[in-house]
Each structure stands twice: as structure tokens, then as C-alpha cells.
Structure 1
Amino acid sequence: MQRHSSDGHGTVIRFRTAGLVLLAAHLLLVAWVTLRPLDVPWVSPANLRPFASIRADVALGWEHGVRCVGAGLALLAPLGVLLPLAGGRLQVSPWGSLVRTVAAGALISLAIELLQTGVPGQVVNIDSLLLNTVGVALAHLAVVPALRARIRRRNQARPLPQQEPAQGPTPTIPRVGVAP
């Protein structure tokens, strides 16, 4: 039986476990922030035109626009790091990882927007979907490739533990003739 390196395998398990715990905590926080009923005197109509609410926020002033765009980018940005971390893969195509992570982030954002249709005071906004997805992509590009490279280097720098000595060749049984 061949033993796995306890350091490399243990590292992946620790990162995957930490990623799953942090991912669950972040998704609970996002659900609490975005799916709470709001007690407002009026509700704006749903925005299905891309960039319309971004233009409206910037028209109210650059500071307000930057704050609103930044909030949209930051809401789901941790998913860009937490989703690959929860996956626990070190040897993966960078582009494949980016596409999977951005697609998952877009689907999570779409689910939030669709769930908001049933929450009083919350409305669907296509710009939130776009900003959340871009935030996931930016966080992934900024952190994940460097983090994976660092973990791979650290695992390669460690000496491998000594393997158990081989038991020798597999024994063979001589053919036995047919009994009378």
C-alpha cells in the first residue's frame, strides 16, 4: 500500500475545510444582507436595463456612485477566492478555474436577485448582477493564481517522507495438474 504524503494531502484538506466553513458563513451573511425585508415608504421599479442604476448613482455624485459601485463589487467578491478554496484543487487550468468560479458567482447572484422579488422592499437590479459577477472575477484574478502557486511551492519544498520498503515480487503459484 502506498502512503500519501501527510503534509501535502493534509494541507489540501485543511484549505478545503476552511474554504467550506468560510463559504457557508459568507453566504449566510449575504443572504441576511440582501434578503431582509426593508421597511421603506416606496419601492423603485425593477431595473432590467444594464448600467442604468450605475449612471443614476454617478449622477447623484461621484462619492455616492463610487460607494454604490464598490458595494456591488464587494458583496460577492469573496466567492472568487472561497469557491476555489472550497474545491481544494491545486493542479487546475487557470482559465478553467476562472470560468467555473465566475459562472458560479453569476448563478449565485442571479439566485439572489430572483429571491429578492418575493422580499418586501427589495427589487431586481441587473446592475447588481453585473457588479457582483465582476467582483467575483476580480477577486479570483487577484488572489487565486498566486495562492495556488504559493501552496504548490510550499508542498514541493518539503521533503517527502520515506516510503515503506517494497515487500518483494508478487509470489507465483506453480500450476497444479488436474486431479484424477
Structure 2
Amino acid sequence: MQRQGSIGGSAAIRIRVTGGLLLVAHLALVAWLMLRPLDVPWVMPANLRPLAGIRADLALGWPEAARRIGEGLGLLAPLGVLLPMAHGRLAVSRLASLLRTAAAGALISLGIALLQTGVPGRVVDVDSLLLNTAGVALAHLAVVPAGRSWLRRRGERVYGTAALQEEAPQGRTPTIPRVGIAP
């Protein structure tokens, strides 16, 4: 029995495996970038006030602010596409998919921030958590709905409509009447 909204057999497996491999590769790259020790003479204190770092970046001027905010948005943005790709479902609620992906991105960003507390030269910044989560959500909104609709159209053309729908139920499960206790 196929899962509801999944693509035909081998295509779904290929998409899930590709998504899973790319997800692992991206997370390994992010871990390498964000969890390396920095050799710095001094470290800024942790930023625990939301939007304070973004305001400070905007005070630096246009090109520097755009670079710093873009880095924050772009670091985990591929997760917005890779997480749904690894999940492999086509017939899901857009809002539920967005919320699930953004929550996973926020948890991954929080995990990175917590791991950075033990790395020399790295400090916690709540704005990076906000920007990373926003980047995941924006990438999801920009790519996933169009990709799912393209895959659904392709699946209908290649596999027929029945391949994209859950199999019809086969009726009630038969029950065996209980036998009473003998006298």
C-alpha cells in the first residue's frame, strides 16, 4: 500500500535518498563552518536581546549590513528545501509543511548555538537563530510549493491519478464473535 500523496515507487525513493544525502552533506558543512574554534584576541559578549545585532548591523551601512544579514538568512536556508525533500510527501498541507520545516530549522539553529558555547571564540547570538529560521522559512516558501505541484503534475502524467492517491479501503475488518464461558 502506498502512502498518501507519495510518488510512484522508485521515483519517491530516489527523491528521498537524494534529499537525505544532500541534507547530511549540508549539515556537515554547516557544522564545519560554525563549530570551528576561532583564534581571536577577545570575544564579544553573548547577544541575548532579539534584533539588537540586526540593528547594529544596519547601523554599519548598506553593503556590510546586507552581507551580514544575508549570511544569517542563507546559512540554513537549504534546509527549507532539503527537509521536505527527504520527507518525500506531496499531498500535505502547505501551512503544516511550512511550520514543521521552520520548527526543524529553528531547532537545528538552536542546537548549533548551544554547541557553539563550548567552542573557543564563538558566542551565542539570538539574532542568528532568528535569521536562520527566517531563511529556512523563506526558502521553503520560494521553492517547495512550486516543486510539489510540478511533481504532482509529472506524477499524474507518468503514473496516472491512481498512483498519487491512497488505495481505497477494503471494507471493515472482520471480527470474531466472543465465545461465552462454558457452564
Could you say whether these structures have the same fold, taking a TM-score greater than 0.5 normalized by the shorter chain as the test? yes
Aligned positions of 1:1-180 closer than 5 A: 8-158=8-158, 160=160
- 2: CA distance, partners of 1:64 / 1:147: 33
Structure 2 unaligned regions, length at least 5: 161-183
Amino acid at match of 2:72: G
Shift in alpha-carbon separation, 1:96–1:159, aligned structure 2, 3 A: closer
- Specify the alignment match of 2:175 in structure 1: none
Separation in 2, partners of 1:95, 1:58:
31
Give RMSD over aligned pairs. 1.6
Misfit runs of 4+, over 2 Å:
none
Aligned residues: 157
Aligned residue type for 1:52: A
Using the alignment, how far apart are the partners of 2:53 and 2:107 within structure 1? 21
C-alpha deviation, 1:41, in angstroms: 0.6
Q: Hey, what's the Cα distance between the residues in 1 that align with 2:59 and 2:98?
A: 33
Q: List alignment gaps of at least 5 residues for structure 1.
A: 161-180
TM-score, normalised to structure 1's length?
0.84
- The TM-score, its normalising length taken from structure 2, stands at 0.83
Larger Rg: 1
2:169 corresponds in structure 1 to: none
- The answer to whether the Cα contact below 8 Å between 2:37 and 2:119 also exists between their aligned partners in 1 is yes
Give the fraction of aligned pairs with identical amino acids, expressed as a percent. Answer: 67
CA contact (8 A) 2:109 2:129 kept: yes
Q: Distance in 2 between matches of 1:11 and 1:87?
A: 13
